[in-house]
Amino acid sequence: MYFDDVESLLALDDKRAQYLWFQIGWQKNRRIKGITVHIRIKNHKIWIEEDWTEEGIATDLLNAGVPQSDIVLAFHPPSDAYGGKLRALTEFATA
């Protein structure tokens, strides 16, 4: 049996300010499920929790006029095991 049926879906939850773009289905007898983009609004900032797009959702937001100070790249850890502020090394908001 051979399947090739993968859907790209959106889940928009305005009540909780969470937005997902994900894939689910079957490809060559293998289950496919994964998040392409997960964004949420937290503390009046856009938190990019997951982003597997080629150009990056942050780039699209910047091109739409959203300031860097309103975007958190939440997929980067806030700090490392030694207390270094890794997220602060980006050009975006830290929290």
**pTM score:** 0.80
Per-residue pLDDT tens for 18-71?
Answer: 999 999 999 888 999 999 999 999 999 999 999 999 999 999 999 999 999 999
Instruction: For residue 25, give its domain range.
Output: 4-89
What gap in Å lies between CA 34 and CA 22, rounded to an integer? 6
Q: Are 48 and 36 in contact (CB under 8 A)?
A: no
Here the CATH number for the domain that contains residue 77 is 3.30.310.110
| Domain-located, residue 10 | yes
Confidence of residue 4 (pLDDT cuts 50, 70, 90): confident
Q: How many structural domains are present in the chain?
A: 1
| Domain-located, residue 75 | yes
Per-residue pLDDT tens for 33-46?
Answer: 999 999 999 999 99
